[in-house]
Structure 1
Amino acid sequence: MKRLVARLWRSIRGSWQWRILWFAHAKFVVGVTGVVRNDAGQVLLLKHRLWHPDRPWGLPTGFAVKGEEFASTVVREVKEETGLDVVPGRLVGLKSGYRLRAEVAYEALHTGGTLKIDEFEILEAGWFEPDALPAGLQGAHRELIRSTEPVRQPGA
């Protein structure tokens, strides 16, 4: 029986295999977060209108669109939410185990642009020192900031 299934599987190569896999497996949305820093090592934080009022502060975050590379999601989301330009860096977080989503996080470096918040989603935006983060910051985002804190040279 296993040989028959293997032979059948090999005979339907290509897009049909992908369709069968798509129907047979779980579907997820992917949330992508950016730990955006400026040249001074400060972190960009946003006060989100649609988040819980006790924890409105967080990193720039959004969902990947179909076919989008996750690092590109960071660039797009930061631009949409703040008007700022960033260059994505290394992958710093990957978490699954949620019912319908997976979470991905990247470091990113601010490279330019003019701060203009998306007033539908964002109430406020600001640059914060890693040791002076606002009250109401998402716990997972606080941990991401701590785990990615840049190493500073003595005397810098």
Structure 2
Amino acid sequence: MNNFLARLWLLIRGPLQWRLLWLWNAKFMIGVTGVVRDEEGRVLLLRHRMWPPDRQWGCPTGYANRGEKFEDTVIREVREETGLHVKVGSLIHLKSGYRLRVEAAYEAAFIGGTLAIDPTEILEATWFSPHDLPQGLQESHRLLIQRTQP
């Protein structure tokens, strides 16, 4: 039976293989976070409206759009949530094992723009010293900030 399936697989090369793989495999949302620093080493943190009240502070974050590079997700999310422009650096975190989600986090450097938050998602945006982070910061984001200390 396995030989038959292997031969059949080879016969249906191309788009049909991709469609079958797509149907067979799990679909994931990709959560992407940016640890954004300015020239002074401060970290950009946002107080997110949709997050639990006791832990609303975190880095800019959002889900990747279909076909979007994760680095582009960081750039887009920072711009949408704050109006700021960033240059994306190294991948600092990649984690799977969630039911339908994968997480990726990147370092990013502030390169310009004027702070203008999106009030539908963000309540407040502030630059913080990595040594003086706010109460209510997501613990996973605190660890990302510590991991990227200059």
TM-score clears 0.5: yes
> What's the counterpart of residue 76 of structure 1?
76
> What's the counterpart of residue 153 of structure 1?
none
> What's the counterpart of residue 49 of structure 1?
49
Displacement, 1:13? 1.1
Displacement, 1:6? 1.2
1:2-151 aligned within 5 A: 2-150=2-150
Displacement, 1:99? 1.0
> What's the counterpart of residue 154 of structure 1?
none
Q: Decide which moves more: 7-16 or 28-37.
A: 7-16
Displacement, 1:5? 1.2
* Secondary structure in 2 matching 1:54: helix
Displacement, 1:145? 0.3
Residues 55-114 of structure 1: per-residue CA shift (max 9 Å, x gap): 000000000000000010000000000000001100000111111111000000000011
Displacement, 1:3? 1.9
- Taking the aligned partners of 1:15 and 1:37, their CA distance within structure 2 comes to 43
- Taking the aligned partners of 2:14 and 2:38, their CA distance within structure 1 comes to 45
- Taking the aligned partners of 1:47 and 1:128, their CA distance within structure 2 comes to 12
Structure 1 residue ranges without an equivalent (≥5): 151-156
* CA RMSD across the alignment: 0.6
The amino acid across from 1:145 in the alignment is I
- Taking the aligned partners of 2:13 and 2:69, their CA distance within structure 1 comes to 25
* Secondary structure in 1 matching 2:53: coil
* Secondary structure in 1 matching 2:79: helix
Structure 1's consecutive aligned runs of 4 or more residues displaced over 6 angstroms after TM superposition are none
Residues 112-144 of structure 1: per-residue CA shift (max 9 Å, x gap): 011000000000001001010000000000000
Structure 2 residue ranges without an equivalent (≥5): none
Q: Percent identity?
A: 63
Displacement, 1:10? 1.1
- Taking the aligned partners of 2:86 and 2:123, their CA distance within structure 1 comes to 20
* Count of residue correspondences: 150
TM-score normalised by the chain length of structure 2: 0.98
